């Protein structure tokens, strides 16, 4: 699974990255996480940050999902 965390470095963006890493570790998902901070690259996928992209699809944007939500999003 290829996961991208989109965000320019704001507190919510950092929180999403940390929460995503925690969800992956807790649930044993086989995933690669990339942090994308380049606004041009972010705008190719969404205009709202923070955003979570799983295998090229935006699955969450504008907020930090709970651990349960992240588990569901990453299980799909």
Higher pLDDT, 55 or 76: 55
Residues 6+ apart with CB under 8 A from 35: 4, 5, 7, 17
3-state secondary structure of 29: coil
Which of 3, 5, 6, 13 is flagged as catalytic? Answer: 13
Quick check: bond before 75 cis, omega within 30? no
pLDDT digits over 41-64, tens only?
999 999 999 999 999 999 999 999
How large is the average pLDDT for residues 28-44?
A: 96
Which of 10, 25, 39, 43 is flagged as catalytic? Answer: 10
Percent of the chain scored above 90 by pLDDT?
96
CATH of the domain at 61: 3.40.30.10
Please tell me the total count of domains within the chain: 1
The pTM of the full predicted model, rounded to 2 decimals, is: 0.93
User: Do the Cβ atoms of 74 and 32 come closer than 8 Å?
Assistant: no
Domain coverage including residue 53: 2-75
Task: Confirm whether 13 is a catalytic residue.
Answer: yes
Q: Furthest-apart CA pair in the chain: how many Å?
A: 32
What's the pLDDT band for 76 if we cut at 50, 70, 90? Answer: confident
């Amino acid at each position: 699974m290829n996961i991208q965390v989109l965000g320019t470095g704001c507190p919510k963006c950092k929180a999403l990255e940390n929460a995503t890493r925690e969800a992956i570790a807790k649930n044993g998902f086989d995933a690669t996480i990339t942090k994308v901070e380049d606004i041009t690259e972010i705008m190719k996928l969404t205009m709202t940050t923070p955003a979570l992209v799983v295998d090229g699809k935006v699955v969450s944007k504008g907020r930090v999902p709970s651990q349960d939500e992240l588990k569901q999003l990453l299980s799909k």
